[in-house]
Amino acid sequence: MLQQLTQTESKKQPSGLRQPPFSLACARLAFKRRGGELMCRSHELFVLAQQHIPGGVNSPVRAFKAVGGEPIFFERGEGPYLIDVDGRRYVDYVGGWGPFIVGHAHPRVLRAVTETAAKGLGFGAPTVLETSMAEKICKLMPSIQKVRMVNSGTEATMSAIRLARGFTGREKIVKFEGCYHGHVDALLVKAGSGALTMGVPTSPGIPEAIASATLTLSYNDPQQVREVFARYGEDIAAVIVEPVAGNMNCVLPIPGFLDCLRQVCDEYGSLLIFDEVMTGFRVALDGAQGRYGVRPDLTTLGKVIGGGLPVGAFGGRADILDRIAPDGPIYQAGTLSGNPVAMAAGLATLEIVEQAGFHEALSNTTRQLVDGMLERAKAAGIGMTANYAGGMFGLFFGHTSRVDTYAQVLASDQALFRRFFRGMLRRGIYLAPSAFEAGFVSSAHTTAQLQQTWGAAEQVFRELSAD
Per-position pLDDT tens, the chain of length 467: 333 333 333 334 333 333 333 333 444 444 444 444 455 899 999 999 999 999 999 998 899 998 999 999 999 999 999 999 999 999 999 999 999 999 999 999 999 999 999 999 999 999 999 999 999 999 999 999 999 999 999 999 999 999 999 999 999 999 999 898 988 777 776 554 444 443 334 567 777 777 778 899 999 999 999 999 999 999 999 999 999 999 999 999 999 999 999 999 999 999 999 999 999 999 999 999 999 999 999 999 999 999 999 999 999 999 999 999 999 999 999 999 999 999 999 999 999 999 999 999 999 999 999 999 999 999 999 999 999 999 999 999 999 889 999 999 999 999 999 999 999 999 999 999 999 999 999 999 999 999 999 999 999 999 999 88
pLDDT value of residue 183: 84
pLDDT value of residue 202: 58
pLDDT value of residue 449: 98
pLDDT value of residue 185: 74
**175 with 189: CB under 8 angstroms?**
yes
Cross-strand pairs, 206: none
What is the distance of C-alpha 203 from the center of its chain?
A: 20
pLDDT value of residue 20: 36
pLDDT value of residue 122: 96
Show contacts of 40-46: CB within 8 Å, 24+ apart: 40/86, 41/13, 41/73, 41/85, 41/86, 42/70, 42/71, 42/72, 42/73, 42/84, 42/85, 42/86, 43/70, 44/20, 45/20, 45/73, 45/85, 46/70, 46/71, 46/73
pLDDT value of residue 39: 52
CA distances from 16 to 19, 41, 86, 301, 438 (A): 6, 13, 17, 38, 36
Helix locations, 53-198, DSSP H:
107-117, 128-140, 153-168, 194-197
pTM value is 0.89
Strand arrangement, sheet containing 89-92: 74-78, 81-84, 89-92, 429-430
Determine the length of the chain. Answer: 467
pLDDT value of residue 107: 98
Domains along the sequence of the chain with CATH: 52-104+357-466 (3.90.1150.10), 107-353 (3.40.640.10)
- 204, with CB counted inside 10 A (0-12, 13-18, 19+), is exposed
pLDDT value of residue 153: 95
pLDDT value of residue 264: 98
What is the rounded CA–CA span in Å between residue 184 and residue 273?
Answer: 15
**404 with 252: CB under 8 angstroms?**
yes
| Beta strands 89-92 and 81-84, pairing class | antiparallel
**Positions marked active-site:** 180, 275, 303
